Structure 1
Amino acid sequence: MLDIDGDRLNARLETFAAIGGTAKGGVNRQALTEGDRRARRLLAELAWARGFLVFQDPMANLFIRRKGRVDTLAPVIIGSHLDSQPAGGRFDGALGTLSAFEVLESLEDARIETARPVVVVSWTNEEGCRFAPGCMGSMAFSEGEIPAAWQGKVATDGAGFAEELALTIASLPEAEMLPLGFPVHAYIEVHIEQGPALEANDIPVGVVKGIQGTRWLDVSVAGQTAHAGTTGLSYRRDPLRALTAALSGLYGAVMPADPDARFTVGRISAEPGSVNAIPDKVHCTIDMRHPEPSRLDDIERLVTSRIAEEAKRHGCTTEIARSFDMAPCVFSDALQRAIEQAVATRGVKSTVMLSGAFHDALFVNRVAPAAMIFVPCRDGLSHNEAEYVEAAHAVIGCDVLAQATLAIASESKNISVISFREQT
């Protein structure tokens, strides 16, 4: 058993929330900004004060290491991220990172020697709002390189990715540099659920079994612009009418028929965008999600065929392209059992669940056994300044992480893992 200091954890959450804090109680601490660098510096200073080792890699992923009895064994990594949305909450990412650091401090307080090293990580740019894509740090870690295409990326505020990354690394010159990627025994991430299920069912812990697959489509439907007042129905080639007819049918067909499916139109626009002209072309984005790859294929086929059929019926043409394709992942059975045992030890309720959003754990899962622990958030709100986690729930999540980490880090045998190839 490992006792954590819940008051210290919640005080730390308050301290970090002040870095980039907003008037409405949220956080604006976007990746690779000065606020992000301040948060990294504070975490590193807390680590040095406890005698832990601090490292960073070429992607500015920050690692805090507590040595193990056999320090050459692959470490157990725990953590999340510190960057936020522009008008984000104070718990998304920070809860997982600071819970992990509390576990490290509690191990040190209790003078417990683990067989393996335990490493806290703060991944770079999980959110992807300033520089796309999200999860850059964990993605680069799992691939062992920074994609060349990222070097020329420009932020929403005009800053260059390469320059901001270099400034962030340079802001912690005391941290020893590591190459991208190293052997990992296991990875566990605590995160807020970002949905309403745990709170609605009064369950303090979600044991996450995997992350559903995600595909994004860019859709364009082209017709013919014409005068809104003089063009009768039979003469119209209205792409907006074709697209909305298709979307109406898809809203009624995708999610109502499959409770695990997700279908979302996030953006829609029309050209030339005149109030008194039939559009010439319309665009939209479609976000599709499902835990089973074959069902994701089915949904994509349905979406593309319905849009094509309606376009043809209205005398229009279509262009549909994938802009993002993320395969589902299945987390380690062994780590799920360790988390469930930790829950049982502490005598709290839990449920096994699937993550609807993707997290850094998805990418780490490609190179090591991974798992996640969810805690409830009020009204399911996240990416919102009103995001809130009860102090007691934050403590429970950290407590479960602590017991699971202690159990896993105390063993020297390897954990079996389903390979990414087998999952997909």
Structure 2
Amino acid sequence: MLLQVNQERLWQSIEDINQFGATAEGGVCRLEFSPENKQARDLFVRWCEEAGCTVRVDKFGNIFARRPGKNPDGAAVITGSHLDTQTSGGRFDGIYGVLAGLEVVRTLNDNNIETENPIEIAVWTNEEGELFLPMIGSAVWLGMNDLEETLELQESDGLTIRQGLQNMGYLGDMEVNSYPVKCYFEAHIEQGPVLEENGEVLGVVNCAQKQYWYNLKVVGQEAHAGPTPMASRKDAMVAVSRMVLEFDRIGRAYDNARSTCGHFEVYPNSRNTVPGEVCFTGDLRNPDPAVLEKMDIEMRDSLAKIADEMRVELDIELHTTIDYVPFNETLVNWVREATIDTGLPWREMYTGAGHDCVNIAQRYPATMIFVPCKDGISHNPAEDAKAEDLAAGATVLANAMLKAANYGGEL
């Protein structure tokens, strides 16, 4: 029999915690280290303690709320996400995964269910990367980033991560990753339109796509906008405009591909001067690593041709590689089984965005559960989701976690 969560309680918890950082546009601005984020953390901790959990905070501010199991030393089955948002954030990104985990614990309590292994809810520090780097809390927890070096990272205003955590009262004393972990689940809004466009409620996520992030620099020559003939110009901005169209073309040419150019710096950025230099970012993604390699080669060849035609210099730096990450087959199967048991329409899919789960899946068995968001909009005050869809995802999470927490074999 499928264990059902309490839809009204889950929705009300989301509404209650989103009072912290609520904006006039209907969204949420709750940056890490802000007073609003401290308030959200404090309320989450109180709720977890009221649900019978023991709450601990590690040396990077990651929060872990543990519901004990029959085997107190058993490896933890963890679920979680983040409380911080973008400046123009929505009401469900991150917070849904955290409070879906809390709803799992409350539902187990309601039904007097004792699991073999402990269950934990994690809140990862600074997932969004609006400050510093994205997904940095889970990266430090996994040892991908050095704890002490990362604590000393400094924002433009001089604030370090260590100071930010101290200001909130969340510079904990528990060593990072200091006890056995069995597996990890993360429930999340899709942050794209696929589920909604296809009339589906649940996404069974089987992998994270591979990503290449680029820093690109184009150098032409500044010139006076009036006297300089068009044929004589080495206009860096026009060259970059053509390159952006190439990124877009490549993203449309391959199945399941994504391409984006999102940040631009123009020099001298003057009304009556031909731009002499433009720095911009590029992003290519595909769940098939071999296809992404083809996209990368095609992009480099196309942009080099444009640079030659426009008589400008081009530099391409591969800034970040995020590897293709397959999710654990057993966990995916348990999520799929629980999804089918709901009787709701669903699909198998990959995650197009980075999540803490993508980091964690490189060390531990892990997977994700997606639910739709209205019009696929996220990182935006218009971000929205239906209470019944959120509850459906939490129900799948509860049943998959229950199976994992009572499973005695290797994953």
Which TM-score tier does this pair reach, normalised by the shorter chain? over 0.9
CA distance in 1, matches of 2:196, 2:245: 31
1:22-421 equivalences in 2 (<5 Å): 22-129=23-130, 131-143=131-143, 146-147=146-147, 149-155=149-155, 159-168=159-168, 170-171=169-170, 177-252=174-249, 254-415=250-411
CA distance in 1, matches of 2:121, 2:179: 14
CA distance in 2, matches of 1:149, 1:30: 21
Q: Against the structure 1 CA distance between its residues 145 and 227, is the aligned structure 2 distance closer, same or farther, given a 3 Å change threshold?
A: closer
Letter in 2 for 1:31: E
> After superposition, what is the alpha-carbon deviation per residue over 1:9-51, rounded to whole angstroms, capped at 9, x for unaligned?
1111110111111122211111122211111111111122232
CA distance in 2, matches of 1:172, 1:230: 60
1:7 equivalent in alignment to 2:8: yes
CA distance in 1, matches of 2:190, 2:178: 27
CA distance in 1, matches of 2:272, 2:300: 29
Letter in 1 for 2:205: V
Letter in 1 for 2:387: A
**Structure 2-normalised TM-score?**
0.95
Greater CA drift, 256-265 or 228-237: 228-237
Report if the CA contact (8 A) 2:162-2:171 is conserved. no
CA distance in 2, matches of 1:54, 1:389: 29
Q: CA deviation at 1:156?
A: 5.9
> After superposition, what is the alpha-carbon deviation per residue over 1:52-90, rounded to whole angstroms, capped at 9, x for unaligned?
111111111100101111222211101111111112111
Report if the CA contact (8 A) 2:62-2:122 is conserved. yes
Report if the CA contact (8 A) 1:141-1:181 is conserved. no
CA RMSD for the aligned pairs?
1.9
Letter in 1 for 2:201: P
Q: CA deviation at 1:278?
A: 1.6
CA distance in 1, matches of 2:310, 2:176: 56
Letter in 2 for 1:75: A
Q: Secondary structure of the equivalent of 1:220?
A: strand
Q: Secondary structure of the equivalent of 1:287?
A: strand
**Structure 1-normalised TM-score?**
0.92
CA distance in 1, matches of 2:3, 2:181: 22
Letter in 2 for 1:224: Q
CA distance in 1, matches of 2:115, 2:199: 34
Q: Secondary structure of the equivalent of 1:177?
A: coil
Q: How many residues align?
A: 410
Report if the CA contact (8 A) 2:246-2:303 is conserved. no
Greater CA drift, 65-74 or 305-314: 305-314
Q: Secondary structure of the equivalent of 1:255?
A: helix
Report if the CA contact (8 A) 2:216-2:280 is conserved. yes
Letter in 2 for 1:161: I
Q: CA deviation at 1:145?
A: 5.3
Q: Against the structure 1 CA distance between its residues 346 and 10, is the aligned structure 2 distance closer, same or farther, given a 3 Å change threshold?
A: same
Q: Secondary structure of the equivalent of 2:367?
A: strand
CA distance in 2, matches of 1:238, 1:21: 43
Q: Against the structure 1 CA distance between its residues 239 and 87, is the aligned structure 2 distance closer, same or farther, given a 3 Å change threshold?
A: closer
CA distance in 2, matches of 1:307, 1:3: 53
Q: CA deviation at 1:181?
A: 5.0
> After superposition, what is the alpha-carbon deviation per residue over 1:340-374, rounded to whole angstroms, capped at 9, x for unaligned?
11112222221101111010100110111100000
* Structure 1 gaps, min length 5: 416-424
Report if the CA contact (8 A) 1:377-1:389 is conserved. yes
Work out the percentage of aligned pairs sharing the same amino acid. 34
* Structure 2 gaps, min length 5: none
Greater CA drift, 109-118 or 271-280: 271-280
Q: Against the structure 1 CA distance between its residues 117 and 310, is the aligned structure 2 distance closer, same or farther, given a 3 Å change threshold?
A: same
> After superposition, what is the alpha-carbon deviation per residue over 1:200-236, rounded to whole angstroms, capped at 9, x for unaligned?
1111100011111222111111122122222223432
Report if the CA contact (8 A) 1:79-1:97 is conserved. yes
CA distance in 2, matches of 1:171, 1:57: 8
Runs of 4+ displaced beyond 6 Å: none
CA distance in 2, matches of 1:177, 1:246: 48
Letter in 1 for 2:16: T
Letter in 2 for 1:134: P
Letter in 2 for 1:60: G
